[in-house]
């Protein structure tokens, strides 16, 4: 049986798309293995959000060439779309596919015979209007599935390459989303995470909305949880917050990019809100859903970010009642307006600011976990067991460890939070544990 090694860099959306490519190989009789195992073919689905992602892609390609004997190497994804010639110049690469071509891999690969020169098939990103079905699951666990419902972006943030790499915003149809979700539920998955580049933009061009999709998904028997992966603050409506507040299925968890706590920097980033609007949004969630988990993306070292601007960001986040931070260091991306801006921040200053916000994020996560001590929560148990401790997540996205014998994988269990260790809650059985 021929073998193919798949490797994914970047976001959950990329993982969902890699899973779809993997299924194409499985349907043709291939064995899918991890990168590092011997394989005749290697497919790498790339990211290009930061310069680090580009470097990692090159390292992965070289690793694939070391671990297998002359594998046929396919590179696709955002890095391939943006700089196909650069990717093709890496020794050992055989086929480079763009955003429009990635799901037609077998059409372009032929019989997977290595050539003396790589083949490049990358259409202009304006032609990327296709939307292949895609979903994936957490490795080793049959609890949570990631369903791609949207792709591309029509926003024009000055630091971002995603519109260049993935094209304009487009959505899966509601019917197709339901079909795939039904298939996942029948396979035993109890939580579905809705993913995309700009999920809040779902359905806008076809006269529907994310809330309409969620309403349909809530009717699926056997689907216990629906989680929204990330949503732009200007697209998170009060109506959707109200629906999360009252729903038995929607997770009480929001991940809402901020990027900066300085209005001056937000304007330079071309973001579509002010800090006052963002604060009002967070406070609205807290009023309506006091126990909601709220995550925040933030970028340090954007061009022109002074010490005063960073101090504004730090103070803004310090006072904001959120649960955790995802902190990114600004990275220059080719062909983005931000690279042409003056006052580029020295890398060492960017990293110092990143460290400060990362520590603040850990403090916020610790405080949020500690706020749950003594409460009884529902946890969806995963398959991983470490030293007789099983782990799972609450609906507000807190990781909980508990004695593995209390329940098995993919069961919902009620636990009382007894403490916090290393930013993970410790759960014990309440006097009357309810699990299914």
Give per-residue pLDDT as tens, 97-151.
998 899 899 999 999 998 888 999 999 877 776 666 666 655 445 688 999 999 9
143 and 209 share one domain? yes
Q: 287 by DSSP, 3-state: which?
A: helix
Query: Assign residue 202 a region: left if phi > 0, alpha if psi is -120 to 50, beta otherwise?
Result: beta
Report pTM. Answer: 0.87
Both tokens of residue 234? 């200007």
Residue 239: the pLDDT is 97
CA-wise closest residue to 435 among 385, 386, 376? 376
Cα Rg for the chain, rounded, in angstroms? 22
285 and 271 share one domain? yes
CA 321, 322, 323, 327 dihedral sign is negative
Rounded to 10 degrees, what is the CA torsion of 21, 25, 26, 31? -120
Distance of CA 90 to the CA centre of its chain: 27
CA-wise closest residue to 361 among 324, 328, 332, 389? 324
Rounded Cα distance, 365 and 371, in Å: 10
Helix (H) or strand (E) holding 360: helix 347-370
The dihedrals phi and psi of 256, each to the nearest 5 degrees, come to: -125, 105
How many helices and strands (H and E) does the chain possess? 13, 20
179 and 264 share one domain? yes
Q: At what angle do helices 210-217 and 238-246 cross, to 10 degrees?
A: 10
Residue 55: the pLDDT is 78
119 and 196 share one domain? no
77 and 190 share one domain? no
152 and 206 share one domain? yes
Alpha helices in 11-161 (DSSP H): 12-27, 51-67, 78-82, 84-88, 105-109
CA 429, 285, 357, 315 dihedral sign is negative
Domain boundary among 104, 124, 144: 124
Any domain includes 218: yes
Any domain includes 130: no
CA 124, 129, 130, 133 dihedral sign is positive
Both tokens of residue 76? 């696709």
Domain boundary among 66, 94, 124: 124
The dihedrals phi and psi of 12, each to the nearest 5 degrees, come to: -65, -30
Both tokens of residue 396? 């507000």
CA-wise closest residue to 196 among 265, 255, 278, 277? 255
Any domain includes 398: yes
Rounded Cα distance, 27 and 86, in Å: 32
Residue 106, domain CATH:
3.40.50.12160
Range of the domain at 384: 376-428
Residues 328 and 301 sit within 8 Å (Cβ to Cβ): no
CA-wise closest residue to 9 among 83, 78, 63, 74? 78
Rounded Cα distance, 71 and 67, in Å: 9
215 and 231 share one domain? yes
Rounded Cα distance, 177 and 237, in Å: 22
pLDDT digits 0-9 by tens, 331-357:
988 889 999 997 899 999 999 999 999
Any domain includes 436: no
Domain boundary among 370, 389, 407: 370
Both tokens of residue 127? 């032609």
231 and 350 share one domain? yes
Any domain includes 434: no
What's the structural domain count of the chain?
Answer: 3
Any domain includes 252: yes
286 and 150 share one domain? yes
220 and 291 share one domain? yes
Ranges of the chain with pLDDT below 50: 139-140, 432-436
106 and 149 share one domain? no
Residue 343, domain CATH:
3.80.30.20
Any domain includes 152: yes
175 and 107 share one domain? no
Any domain includes 435: no
Rounded Cα distance, 215 and 186, in Å: 19
Residue 11: the pLDDT is 77
Rounded Cα distance, 174 and 4, in Å: 32
């Amino acid at each position: 049986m021929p073998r193919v090694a798949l490797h994914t860099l970047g976001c959950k959306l990329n993982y969902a798309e890699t899973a779809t490519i993997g299924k194409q190989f499985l349907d043709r009789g291939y064995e899918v293995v991890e990168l590092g195992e011997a394989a005749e073919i290697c497919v790498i689905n790339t990211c290009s959000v930061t310069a680090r992602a580009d470097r990692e892609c090159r390292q992965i390609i070289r690793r694939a060439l070391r671990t297998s004997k002359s594998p046929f190497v396919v590179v696709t994804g955002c890095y391939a779309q943006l700089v196909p010639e650069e990717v093709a110049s890496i020794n050992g690469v055989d086929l480079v596919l763009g955003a429009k071509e990635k799901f037609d891999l077998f059409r372009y690969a032929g019989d997977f015979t290595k050539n003396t020169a790589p083949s490049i098939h990358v259409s202009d990103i304006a032609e990327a209007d296709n939307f292949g079905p895609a979903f994936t699951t957490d490795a080793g666990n049959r609890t949570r599935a990631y369903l791609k419902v949207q792709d591309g972006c029509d926003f024009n943030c000055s630091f971002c390459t995603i519109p260049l790499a993935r094209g304009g915003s487009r959505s899966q149809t509601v019917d197709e989303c339901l079909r795939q979700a039904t298939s996942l539920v029948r396979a035993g998955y109890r939580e579905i995470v809705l993913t995309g580049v700009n999920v809040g933009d779902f359905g806008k061009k076809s006269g529907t909305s994310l809330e309409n999709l969620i309403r349909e998904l809530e009717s699926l028997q056997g689907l216990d949880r629906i989680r929204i992966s990330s949503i732009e603050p200007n697209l998170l409506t009060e109506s959707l917050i109200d629906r999360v507040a009252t729903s038995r299925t929607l997770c009480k968890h929001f991940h809402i990019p901020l990027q900066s706590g300085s209005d001056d920097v937000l304007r330079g980033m071309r973001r579509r809100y002010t800090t006052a609007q963002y604060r009002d949004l967070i406070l609205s969630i807290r009023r309506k859903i006091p126990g909601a988990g709220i995550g925040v993306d933030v970028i340090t070292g954007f061009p022109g970010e002074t010490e005063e601007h960073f101090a504004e960001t730090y103070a803004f986040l310090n006072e904001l009642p959120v649960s955790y931070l995802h902190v990114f260091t600004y990275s220059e991306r080719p062909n983005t307006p931000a690279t042409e801006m003056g006052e580029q921040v020295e890398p060492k200053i960017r990293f110092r600011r990143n460290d400060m916000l990362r520590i603040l994020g850990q403090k916020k996560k610790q405080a949020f976990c500690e706020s749950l001590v003594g409460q009884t929560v529902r946890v969806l148990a995963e398959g991983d067991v470490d030293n007789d401790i099983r782990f799972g997540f609450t609906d507000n996205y807190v990781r909980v460890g508990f004695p593995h014998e209390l329940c098995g994988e993919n069961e919902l269990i009620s636990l009382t939070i007894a403490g916090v260790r290393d930013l993970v809650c410790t759960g014990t059985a309440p006097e009357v544990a309810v699990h299914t």
